Amino acid sequence: MTIVRVELDQRAYDIHIGAGLLARPGSFAQVAAPKARALIVCNTTVAPLYMQRLRQALAPHFAQVLSCVLPDGEKHKDWSTLNQVFDALLEHQCDRKTTLFALGGGVIGDMAGFAAACYMRGVPFVQVPTTLLAQVDSSVGGKTAINHPLGKNMIGAFYQPRLVVADIDTLGTLPPVEVSAGLAEIIKHGAIADAAFFDWLETHMERLRTLDPEAVTHAVRRSCEIKAAVVAQDETESGLRAILNFGHTFGHAIEAGMGYGQWLHGEAVGAGMVIAADVSVRLGLLDAASAARLRELTRRAGLPVQAPPLPLARYMELMQVDKKNEAGSVRFVLLQGLGHALLRPVPADVVNASLLAHGALATVSEPAAQGRATASTST
């Protein structure tokens, strides 16, 4: 097992990374509360696979282990589904010592974390991510939220977990498209903060796509190290942490514009990174060869490199609802060479040109495509 520490003073916590961790009671010993209860929050897809395993691992550490099973999918990341968690907590008369365990992907992690932040004004929670994307990104850093029809993750709170347990064995049940979605966030970490890691990804992409344990463990660990270092310096995204949103301004617009769940988050981020790299080239920040390398690595990861053909005006409207915006100005995370990111506003004509070059429709009269964009690779 590898341990990565997120240094946040009194709220610091460990990320445990390794194989077989979910079935070991020792993985959760540091959050044990023998006189308290645990509530596992899961979804209908993951529950049959891993619920019982986690329940048995937690049983020695808690007086009672309860469960709450939610519907699966990004389209359910809303108030109605969140209330099901509160219903379970209240029906079982859970108190402030109850610990929530988020067992699943990023949607479950975000909602269980948000519920933990709100219930009785804050109860402990633990992230147990079962998807590659959640293990390398959403389970780390304390961002919790639900979606609104007008914007993704616009309603939420910064609330840190007490522990993250990333069992790489759980990745074996993922469909290839979910593996690719997680690779988008791994590529992002190399692109914004570690050029040597980006080089390593170019060499080992095929091993990652086939879930080679050694390669996956290294990629998860390095991604968590990068994110932990950024979060430790800027927990609430007042400055540096915004670089972790590389590709996300475009990506969130894709998700909202197509309807939540039509594109996986990682797919939208993959296309968004390619567009953001193109913007960087147009502004003279990034050389064309580096942008081409990013596009090719994204393609090799099985991700779309073109955005869906939504009207250009729709993209611009959706990007106005972005947490990085200030005083009505849309700010983008751009690359100043591979391994270096910065945040800055971009002239509308440059954004328009990049979107049009990567799939946006010039007029509102043209119909928008349904489903995923056609990429220059198979997924």
Whether the model pTM is above 0.85: yes
Q: What is the mean pLDDT of the segment spanning 293-314?
A: 97
Task: Give the separation between CA 297 and CA 284, rounded to whole angstroms.
Answer: 21
Of residues 251, 250, 229, 252, the one with CA closest to residue 241: 229
At 320 the pLDDT is: 87
Question: What is the number of domains present in the chain?
Answer: 2
Point out the catalytic residue in the list 16, 221, 227, 372: 227
| Residue 116 and residue 17 share a domain | yes
Q: Is 372 a catalytic residue?
A: no
Q: Is 97 a catalytic residue?
A: no
The answer to whether residue 227 sits within a structural domain is: no
pLDDT in tens, 313-351: 999 999 987 666 665 568 899 999 999 999 999 999 999
At 328 the pLDDT is: 59
Of residues 177, 322, 195, 159, the one with CA closest to residue 247: 322
Q: Is 143 a catalytic residue?
A: yes
| Residue 43 and residue 120 share a domain | yes
| Residue 188 and residue 116 share a domain | no
At 379 the pLDDT is: 24
| Residue 189 and residue 129 share a domain | no
At 75 the pLDDT is: 92
3-state secondary structure 146-204: EEECCEEEEEEEECCCCEEEEEHHHHHHCCHHHHHHHHHHHHHHHHHHCHHHHHHHHHH
Point out the catalytic residue in the list 222, 252, 282, 295: 252
The answer to whether residue 345 sits within a structural domain is: yes
| Residue 77 and residue 156 share a domain | yes
pLDDT at 301 over 70: yes
Q: Is 227 a catalytic residue?
A: yes
| Residue 341 and residue 196 share a domain | yes
| Residue 335 and residue 258 share a domain | yes
Q: Is 207 a catalytic residue?
A: no
Q: Out of 144-153, 201-210, 249-258, which region has the weakest mean confidence (pLDDT)?
A: 144-153
pLDDT in tens, 263-273: 999 999 999 99
At residue 143, φ and ψ (nearest 5 deg) are -80, 125
Q: Out of 64-78, 144-158, 273-287, which region has the weakest mean confidence (pLDDT)?
A: 144-158
At 326 the pLDDT is: 62
pLDDT at 245 over 70: yes
* Residue 347, C-beta contacts closer than 8 angstroms, at least 6 positions apart: none
Point out the catalytic residue in the list 37, 61, 77, 143: 143
| Residue 202 and residue 255 share a domain | yes
Of residues 141, 181, 148, the one with CA closest to residue 303: 181
The answer to whether residue 203 sits within a structural domain is: yes
| Residue 203 and residue 148 share a domain | no
The answer to whether residue 183 sits within a structural domain is: yes
| Residue 316 and residue 190 share a domain | yes
Q: Is 43 a catalytic residue?
A: no
The last residue of one of the domains, among 123, 158, 173, is 173
The last residue of one of the domains, among 152, 173, 194, is 173
* Strand pairing report for 341-345 and 331-335: antiparallel
CATH code for the domain of 152: 3.40.50.1970
Confidence of residue 305 (pLDDT cuts 50, 70, 90): very high
Of residues 206, 235, 221, the one with CA closest to residue 300: 206
| Residue 192 and residue 161 share a domain | no
At 330 the pLDDT is: 80
Task: Give the separation between CA 146 and CA 340, rounded to whole angstroms.
Answer: 30
Point out the catalytic residue in the list 77, 218, 241, 372: 241
pLDDT in tens, 82-121: 999 999 999 999 999 999 999 999 999 999 999 999 999 9
CATH code for the domain of 275: 1.20.1090.10
| Domain span holding position 161 | 2-173
| Residue 153 and residue 186 share a domain | no
